[in-house]
Structure 1
Amino acid sequence: MRAVVIGSGHNGLLASYYLRKLGLEVILLEASHRVGGMTESYTVGRALVSRASYVLGLMPRQFIEEFDIPVIQNDPYQVIEYEGKLIPFHRDKERRLNVLGKYFPDFEEFERRVCLMKEIMSLFHFDVNPPSREKVLEVAERYGVPEIVRDTSRSFLSKYLPQEVHRYFIYPAMEESPAYMVAYFYSQWSHVRGGMGRVSEAIASKARSAGVLLFTGTKVEEIITSNGRVKGVRYQDKVVKADIVVSAISPVATFSMTPELADVKLDVGKSSWAKHNVIFKDMPRVPEALRPHLGGIIDLQSGEVVMPSAVDPTRGAHVLEFMGDPEEILQIFKGEVIFHEELTPSFAERYYHLPGGNLNHLPMRMPYLFDGRPVKGWGYRTPLKGLYITGAGTFPGGQVTGIPGFNVVTAVKEDLQRGGFFT
Structure 2
Amino acid sequence: MARAWDAIVIGGGHNGLVCAAYLARAGLDVLVLERRGVLGGASVTEEPWPGYRVSTLAYLCSLLQERIIRELELARFGYHVYAKDPAFFTPFPDGRHLLFWQDQRRTCEEIARFSRRDAEAYPRYEAFLERLARFAERMLLRTPPDLARSGLRDYLELGRLGLDFLHMDDAERIGHLRIFTQSVADFLAPWFESEEVKVTLATDGVIGTNGGPRTPGTAYVLLHHVMGKVNGHRGLWGFVRGGMGGVAAALAGAAQAAGATLRTEAPVARVLVTQGRASGVVLGNGEEIRGRIVVSGADPKRTFLHLVEASHLPEEFLTAVRNIRMEGCSMKINLALDGLPSFRALPGSTLLPHHRTTIHLCPSIDYIERAWDEAKYGHPSTQPMLEITIPTSYDDSLAPPGKHIMNIFLQYTPYRLREGNWHQLKESYADRVLALVEEYAPGFRNLVLHRQVISPLDLEETYGLTGGNIFHGEMAVDQLFFLRPVPGWAQYRTPLRGLYLCGSGTHPGGGVMGAPGYNAAREILRDLRRRRV
Q: How far, CA to CA, are the matches of 2:262 and 2:466 in structure 1?
A: 24
Q: Give, in angstroms, the shift of residue 139 of structure 1.
A: 4.3
SS in structure 2 of the partner of residue 19 of structure 1: helix
Q: How far, CA to CA, are the matches of 2:449 and 2:81 in structure 1?
A: 28
The aligned amino acid for 1:261 is L
| Counterparts in 2 of 1:292 and 1:131: CA distance versus 1, 3 Å | farther
Tell me whether 1:108 sits opposite 2:123 in the alignment.
yes
- For 1:221, which of 258, 269, 285 is the aligned residue? 269
Alignment of 1:18-417 (within 5 A): 18-43=22-47, 44-65=49-70, 66-68=73-75, 69-81=79-91, 84-97=95-108, 99-100=110-111, 103=115, 104-105=118-119, 106-129=121-144, 139-140=164-165, 142-143=167-168, 144=172, 145=175, 146-161=177-192, 162=195, 164-165=199-200, 167-171=202-206, 173-174=210-211, 175-177=215-217, 179-186=219-226, 187-235=235-283, 236-256=285-305, 257-259=307-309, 260-261=312-313, 263=315, 264=318, 265-266=321-322, 267-287=324-344, 289=346, 291-301=352-362, 303-316=386-399, 317-324=403-410, 325-331=433-439, 332=441, 333-378=444-489, 379-417=491-529
Contact 2:25–2:259 (8 Å) recurs in 1: no
Contact 2:185–2:202 (8 Å) recurs in 1: no
The aligned amino acid for 1:12 is G
The CA RMSD over aligned residues, in Å, is 2.6
Tell me whether 1:17 sits opposite 2:24 in the alignment.
no
TM-score after normalising by structure 1: 0.91
The aligned amino acid for 2:334 is N
Q: Deviations over 1:246-281 (max 9, x none)?
A: 111111111122222374223334322211101123
Q: Give, in angstroms, the shift of residue 198 of structure 1.
A: 1.0
TM-score after normalising by structure 2: 0.73
| Counterparts in 2 of 1:63 and 1:292: CA distance versus 1, 3 Å | same
Contact 1:298–1:306 (8 Å) recurs in 2: yes
Q: How far, CA to CA, are the matches of 1:381 and 1:280 in structure 2?
A: 46
SS in structure 1 of the partner of residue 446 of structure 2: coil
Q: How far, CA to CA, are the matches of 1:24 and 1:387 in structure 2?
A: 16
Contact 1:149–1:180 (8 Å) recurs in 2: yes
SS in structure 2 of the partner of residue 289 of structure 1: coil
Q: Give, in angstroms, the shift of residue 345 of structure 1.
A: 0.6
- Structure 2 unaligned residues grouped into runs of 5+: 148-156, 227-234, 363-384, 411-432
Q: Give, in angstroms, the shift of residue 380 of structure 1.
A: 1.3
Q: Give, in angstroms, the shift of residue 77 of structure 1.
A: 2.2
The aligned amino acid for 2:354 is H
Q: Give, in angstroms, the shift of residue 101 of structure 1.
A: 5.9
Q: Deviations over 1:51-109 (max 9, x none)?
A: 11111111122334421111111321222346743322222345445544664253333
| Counterparts in 2 of 1:178 and 1:54: CA distance versus 1, 3 Å | closer
- Structure 1 unaligned residues grouped into runs of 5+: none
Q: How far, CA to CA, are the matches of 2:180 and 2:329 in structure 1?
A: 25
CA radius of gyration, larger in = 2
Q: How far, CA to CA, are the matches of 1:299 and 1:130 in structure 2?
A: 38
The aligned amino acid for 1:270 is E
Q: Deviations over 1:180-216 (max 9, x none)?
A: 2221112311011111111111111222232211111
Contact 2:104–2:123 (8 Å) recurs in 1: no
